[in-house]
Amino acid sequence: MNTESFLLLLGWAGVYLPTALGAIGSIVGCARAGQAAVGALLDVETGYGRLVGVSALPSSQTIYGIVVTMQFNRTVAVESAPGLFSLGLLVGLALLSSAMLQGTCAAAAINTTKTKPEVFGLSVAPAAIVEGFAVFAFIFAMIVGGGIPGGPAS
């Protein structure tokens, strides 16, 4: 494989990495929180809906990843490949870790809420804060990605 092909490979990977890593993060995060929600169902008599609802919080990272991929989607060239790969990888990693850890925060919220339903709002706050960082990573990937040569595919 010559250098040009390798660069194009990285460029295409960079286009899809935000979606792939965001989705992996969401899978792990939702699985953690979902298992906690299902476990909590064994120990509570009411409020099932909101427990399961909280477990879906780490889904948003996949959506952010899809939007970034749509923004990056273009005919990859040697000039655009390094930028696409660098930004795609970094925003993907940010989305991956935020989704996984948001799943843990959501699981903790579920575990607390089943014993003290009155603190539901407060218990979800850490998960919301983690979401905030994912949003920062998403927005700045869109802004910085605007400077990558080639522009979005029409």
Partner 1 sequence: MMSSSSTDYYMLIASLPFIPRTFEVDQVPISRLRLAERLTLLDEDDQQVVEQVQQFLHWDRQDSERTDADVQREYERLMDTIQNSLVRDIIIHRMDVRTIMSGLRRRRWGLDPPAAVGQYVAHIRKHWQHPDFQLARKQPWIPSVRESLEKHEPLQVERELLRATWNRWTQLADQYYFSFETILLYLARWEIVDRWTRLDPIAGRRRFDTLLQETLSEHARIDN
**Conformation bin of residue 73: beta by default, left when phi > 0, alpha when psi is -120 to 50:** beta
Residues in contact with partner 1 by the rule CB under 8 A: 28, 31-33, 35-43, 104, 107-108, 110-111, 114-115
Nearest to 20 by CA among 80, 69, 70, 59: 69
In angstroms, what is the minimal distance from the CB of 138 to partner 1? 25
The nearer residue to partner 1, 94 or 109, going by C-beta atoms, is 109
Taking the C-alpha atoms of residue 8 and residue 5, their distance in angstroms, rounded to an integer, is: 5
Taking the C-alpha atoms of residue 1 and residue 103, their distance in angstroms, rounded to an integer, is: 40
In angstroms, what is the minimal distance from the CB of 51 to partner 1? 9
In angstroms, what is the minimal distance from the CB of 55 to partner 1? 10
The nearer residue to partner 1, 82 or 126, going by C-beta atoms, is 126
Let me know: does 78 contact 8? Beta carbons within 8 Å: yes
In angstroms, what is the minimal distance from the CB of 28 to partner 1? 7
The nearer residue to partner 1, 15 or 107, going by C-beta atoms, is 107
Let me know: does 79 contact 2? Beta carbons within 8 Å: no
The nearer residue to partner 1, 69 or 113, going by C-beta atoms, is 113
